[in-house]
């Protein structure tokens, strides 16, 4: 069975989407429509901007979304998934690709999400850290032992967990994880504590936008970040999408459930190859590839 997966923040690179724009009239139309919806020329930043330009949350999130969704659209008849999933931001790309959301509504929600997250980051300085080489339960216990806010944020694969929290709490978590024998524990270059209680103001703002947007029955199930489970009901999808900002990304569980449900051919749609590598850590026999036009 074919699974199509969509990357999240961090997969961006200078020049992303330029080949699509130049080779496909359909892609060109969609990029131009995006410039109009966003009210700035995101294409200039994607194709010819700097790395610093692309690191701004308000640019990064719509840029990765556009690359992924437009690529899926241009694939046409080759885009026939039995199931989809997206990592964090990528969940929005997946929902447009599987026709739960329209392109326009998906882009508007991603822009709203990026702005709301940026505001939440500015309200309280916060950060994330990657912990490699410890059991999930060990990292969870360390987080619970720290007085300030620090929580598991991304269950990326067995032995690879990202935590989110205040700067002080993350520094303490890194120290304790190193003492517990982590292979690596390092702070990430991100602007805030995504997928943690510190994103509550962003969740409230995004909830209003999601609840006033039309969600349709998709062409296939989506495996959602909050539960790791397969979902088709638009109302449940909405509820999970609202909860996503303050809940951990259960990517390990998503991969395990997709494979258990028969996925044996994984296509990553969008920039980068990170998700393919994570699937290989679960089962090396799985066939993986990047989408291409």
Residues across the chain: 293
Characterise 169 by phi-psi region: left (phi > 0), alpha (psi -120 to 50), beta (else).
alpha
Percent pLDDT > 90 in the chain is 89
Residue 229 carries which DSSP code? -
Question: pTM, whole model, 2 decimals?
Answer: 0.95
**CB 139, CB 185: distance < 8 Å:** no
| CA 153 centroid distance within chain | 12
Q: Would you kindly state where each structural domain of the chain is located, as residue ranges?
A: 2-122+197-290, 126-187
Count the Cβ atoms, other than its own, within 10 Å of residue 123: 13
- pLDDT given at position 199: 95
126-187: which CATH number, 3.30.2290.10, 3.40.50.1100, 3.40.50.720, 3.30.70.250? 3.30.70.250
Among the listed residues 67, 87, 164, 195, the single catalytic one is 195
Q: According to the model, what pLDDT value does residue 161 have?
A: 97
Nearest of 111, 90, 119 to residue 36 by alpha carbon = 111
Per-residue pLDDT tens over the stretch 158-205: 999 999 999 999 999 999 999 999 999 999 977 789 999 999 999 999
**What confidence score (pLDDT) does residue 286 get?**
92
SS3 call for 183 = coil
Alpha-carbon distances, residue 210 vs 58, 108, 114, 240, 266 (angstroms): 18, 10, 14, 11, 28
Choose the catalytic residue: 24, 88, 126, 157.
88
Q: Which CATH architecture has domain 2-122+197-290?
A: 3-Layer(aba) Sandwich (3.40)
CA-wise closest residue to 27 among 133, 90, 103, 89: 103
Mean model confidence pLDDT for the chain: 95
b/e per residue 192-202 (b: at least 16 CB within 10 A): bbbbbebbebb
Closest CA to 112 of 50, 53, 154, 57: 57
Task: Answer whether residue 48 shows pLDDT above 70.
Answer: yes
Report pLDDT for 293. Answer: 67
> Same CATH fold, 126-187 and 2-122+197-290?
no
Q: Is 99 left (phi over 0), alpha (psi -120 to 50) or beta?
A: left
Rounded to an integer, what distance in angstroms lies between the CA atom of residue 231 and that of residue 258? 12
Active site residue 87: no
pLDDT at 10: 85
> How far apart, in whole angstroms, are the C-alpha atoms of residue 87 and residue 11?
11
Per-residue pLDDT tens for 52-109? 888 888 899 999 999 999 999 999 989 999 999 999 999 999 999 999 999 999 999 9
| Percent of the chain residues past pLDDT 70, beyond the cut | 100
The pLDDT assigned to 35 comes to: 98
| Distance between CA atoms of residues 243 and 252, nearest Å | 18
Confidence of residue 253 (pLDDT cuts 50, 70, 90): very high
């Amino acid at each position: 069975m074919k699974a199509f997966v969509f990357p999240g923040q961090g997969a961006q690179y200078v020049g992303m989407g330029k080949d699509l724009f130049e080779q496909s009239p359909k892609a060109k139309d969609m990029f131009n429509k995006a410039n109009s919806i966003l009210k700035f020329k995101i294409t200039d930043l994607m194709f010819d901007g700097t790395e610093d330009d692309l690191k701004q949350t308000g640019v990064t999130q719509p840029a990765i979304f556009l690359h992924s969704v437009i690529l899926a659209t241009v694939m046409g008849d080759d885009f026939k998934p039995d199931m989809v999933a997206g990592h964090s931001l990528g969940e929005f790309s997946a929902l447009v690709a599987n026709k739960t959301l329209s392109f326009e509504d998906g882009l508007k929600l991603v822009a709203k999400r990026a702005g709301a997250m940026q505001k939440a980051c500015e309200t309280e300085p916060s950060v994330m850290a990657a912990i490699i080489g410890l059991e999930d339960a060990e990292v969870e216990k360390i987080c619970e032992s720290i007085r300030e806010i620090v929580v598991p944020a991304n269950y990326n694969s067995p032995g690879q967990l990202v935590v989110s929290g205040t700067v002080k709490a993350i520094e303490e978590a890194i120290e304790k994880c190193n003492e517990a024998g982590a292979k690596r524990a390092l702070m990430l270059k991100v602007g805030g504590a995504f997928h943690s209680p510190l994103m509550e103001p962003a969740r409230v703002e995004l909830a209003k936008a999601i609840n006033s947007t039309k969600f349709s029955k998709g062409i296939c199930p989506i495996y959602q970040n909050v539960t790791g489970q397969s979902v088709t009901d638009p109302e449940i999808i909405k509820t999970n999408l609202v909860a996503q900002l303050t809940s951990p990304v259960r990517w390990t569980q998503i991969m395990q459930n997709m494979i258990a449900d028969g996925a044996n051919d994984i296509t990553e749609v969008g920039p980068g190859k990170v998700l393919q590598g994570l699937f290989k850590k679960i089962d090396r026999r799985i066939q993986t590839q990047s989408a291409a036009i």
